[in-house]
């Protein structure tokens, strides 16, 4: 058994091993997970969570690394969750973004963690909300969550972040991607990376046009800015940080930030509850109650919806 109180105290002191062990407890769904979350609850809530998403190859990891550098220059402690695709064999992460962000490895003000999705749809590991809480409680003032980048399922990042950054790049078909459902709804800040390539201006114009077509905003509503960057050279990154800070200020002024965090907490509670119920129902395979309901369905004495209601009632009362 792990001494959770000691681990939490060490994490608060900025010890990376303690932070790593806490996140490992989260990822492994440890029996002590409830104790960990109870200890972290009063210590979290101060971090600004920024999600970065976009198609593969747009430079998410390079942009994330550049943002880390920019925030460190401002004296901010930064946490990074790089959510990688999972190996179907080992369940481990394939890309290892920590390797690509090695320039920050020796910085005590930066904590970088790769997490495997483990088959979870939406580009985020199921344990990401709890891992964010660990980094928050450990004193990270800004938490960057970089997603897998595997397609339209990336919209889940919007549910986990205070501000969502959507990255595009010229010459990669991102103009077509921008027109697809979902991508225009989740972005708070849009970044056209690799802006030194041909087509960057047209990509930005097309995106601006699509945002104009899709918007139904009133006076005072947030209109997502479009920032052009060359993340590999650090160009335009200060403008991205400025856009993020403006969005944060706007959210605080209009009480949007608290609303997003309430929704995030509600989704987390719902997911934990549904997972717990699914585990209980999973234990019923071969159970006489389930077999009896199935028999009544195939003989026409019961419909599947009523059977489901009966099963839920029996499970929740157990």
The 3-state DSSP class for residue 123 equals: coil
Summary mean pLDDT of the chain: 83
**Residue 241 in this model has a pLDDT that exceeds 90:** yes
Torsion of Cα atoms, 132 then 136 then 140 then 142, to 10°: 60
Residue 271: pLDDT band by 50, 70, 90 thresholds? confident
What integer pLDDT is reported at residue 96 of this predicted model? 45
Residue pLDDT, tens place only, 23-42: 999 888 888 989 999 999 99
What integer pLDDT is reported at residue 87 of this predicted model? 41
What integer pLDDT is reported at residue 154 of this predicted model? 57
What integer pLDDT is reported at residue 303 of this predicted model? 94
Residue pLDDT, tens place only, 84-99: 654 433 344 444 444 5
Pick the most confident of 13-17, 44-48, 236-240.
Answer: 236-240
The 3-state DSSP class for residue 18 equals: helix
Element (H, E) at 311: helix 304-317
Element (H, E) at 213: helix 200-214
The 3-state DSSP class for residue 59 equals: coil
Residue pLDDT, tens place only, 177-213: 555 556 677 889 999 999 999 999 998 998 888 888 7
What is the pTM for the complete model shown? Answer: 0.85
User: What is the percentage of the chain residues whose pLDDT exceeds 70?
Assistant: 80
In the chain, DSSP finds a helix count (H) and a strand count (E) of 14, 7
Q: Could you write out the DSSP letters of every residue in 264-277?
A: HHHHHHHHHHHHHH
CA atoms within 13 A on the CB side of 25: 23
**Residue 311 in this model has a pLDDT that exceeds 70:** yes
What integer pLDDT is reported at residue 94 of this predicted model? 41
Alpha-carbon distance values, 139 to 19, 110, 188 (Å): 10, 10, 25
What integer pLDDT is reported at residue 197 of this predicted model? 94
CA pseudo-torsion sign 253, 259, 264, 268: positive
Residue pLDDT, tens place only, 149-186: 655 445 666 678 999 999 999 987 655 555 555 667 78
Residue 118: pLDDT band by 50, 70, 90 thresholds? low
What integer pLDDT is reported at residue 90 of this predicted model? 38
Pick the most confident of 72-86, 98-112, 223-237, 298-312.
Answer: 223-237
What integer pLDDT is reported at residue 155 of this predicted model? 62
Pick the most confident of 136-140, 166-170, 265-269, 284-288.
Answer: 136-140
């Amino acid at each position: 058994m792990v001494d959770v109180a000691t681990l939490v105290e060490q994490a608060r002191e900025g010890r990376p091993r303690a932070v790593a062990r806490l996140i490992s407890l989260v990822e492994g769904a440890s029996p002590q997970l409830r104790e960990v979350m109870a200890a972290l609850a009063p210590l979290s809530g101060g971090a600004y969570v920024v999600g970065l998403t976009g198609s593969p190859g747009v430079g998410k990891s390079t942009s994330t690394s550049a943002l880390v550098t920019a925030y460190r220059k401002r004296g901010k402690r930064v946490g990074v969750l790089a959510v990688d695709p999972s190996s179907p064999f080992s369940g481990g992460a394939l890309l290892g973004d920590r390797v690509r962000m090695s320039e920050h490895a020796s910085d005590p003000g930066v904590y970088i963690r790769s997490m495997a999705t483990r088959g979870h749809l939406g580009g985020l590991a199921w344990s990401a909300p709890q891992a964010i809480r660990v980094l928050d409680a450990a004193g990270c003032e800004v938490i960057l969550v970089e997603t897998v980048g595997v397609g339209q399922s990336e919209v889940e990042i919007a549910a986990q972040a205070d501000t969502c950054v959507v990255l595009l790049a010229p010459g990669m078909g991102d103009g077509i991607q921008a027109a697809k459902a979902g991508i225009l709804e989740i972005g708070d800040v849009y970044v056209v990376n690799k802006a030194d390539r041909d087509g960057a201006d047209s990509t930005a114009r097309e995106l601006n046009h699509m945002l104009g077509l899709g918007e139904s905003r009133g006076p005072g509503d947030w209109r997502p800015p479009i920032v052009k960057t060359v993340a590999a050279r650090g160009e335009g990154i200060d403008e991205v940080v400025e856009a993020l800070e403006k969005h944060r200020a706007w959210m605080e002024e209009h009480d949007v930030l608290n609303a997003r965090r309430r929704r995030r907490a509600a989704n987390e509670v719902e997911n934990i509850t549904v997972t717990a119920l699914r585990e209980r129902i999973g234990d019923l395979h071969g159970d006489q109650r389930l077999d009896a309901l199935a028999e009544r369905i195939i003989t026409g004495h019961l419909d599947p919806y009523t059977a489901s209601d009966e099963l839920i009632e029996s499970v929740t009362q157990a």
